Amino acid sequence: MSEAPSTVTVTILGKEYQVACPADEVDALTKAARFLDDQMEMIRSSGKVVGLDRVAVMAALNITNDYLSGQTALTETKSAVSDRIASLSDKVGNALAQHKQPEL
């Protein structure tokens, strides 16, 4: 269960933002803000994107693309693991059936 919300100050591209956050999620929020700040700073320093709003949108698109790629990979991995488990379960079942002792 989440603790009572607290207000956390995060800094992104030199601007401070007050964000309400459950007390037990402050570390995660701080880490996310640092990650976003790093991504936005990298985009801004490339010189290819001008304007804070455009930098923010590009960072959001990059982060979203990475997230969705990770989700696709995770889904594929889960499917492969499930298939492998089913295959191994079938092999174990067949092996047990072949070595079943006759009832007396």
pLDDT band of residue 5 (cuts 50, 70, 90) is confident
pTM: 0.71
pLDDT of residue 62: 96
| Amino acid making up residue 10 | V
Q: What is the 3-state secondary structure (H, E, C) of the chain?
A: CCCCEEEEEEEECCEEEEEEEEHHHHHHHHHHHHHHHHHHHHHHHHCCCCCHHHHHHHHHHHHHHHHHHHHHHHHHHHHHHHHHHHHHHHHHHHHHHHCCCCCC
pLDDT of residue 50: 86
Neighbours of 25 (CB within 10 A): 15
- Asked whether residue 32 is domain-assigned, the answer is yes
- Asked whether residue 57 is domain-assigned, the answer is yes
Give residue 68's domain range.
Answer: 26-98
In the predicted structure, residue 104 carries a pLDDT above the cut 70: no
Residue-wise pLDDT for 62-84, tens only, equals 999 999 999 999 999 999 999 99
Residue-wise pLDDT for 12-51, tens only, equals 999 999 999 999 999 999 999 999 999 999 999 999 998 9
- Asked whether residue 45 is domain-assigned, the answer is yes
- Asked whether residue 65 is domain-assigned, the answer is yes
- Asked whether residue 31 is domain-assigned, the answer is yes
Number of domains observed in the structure of the chain: 1
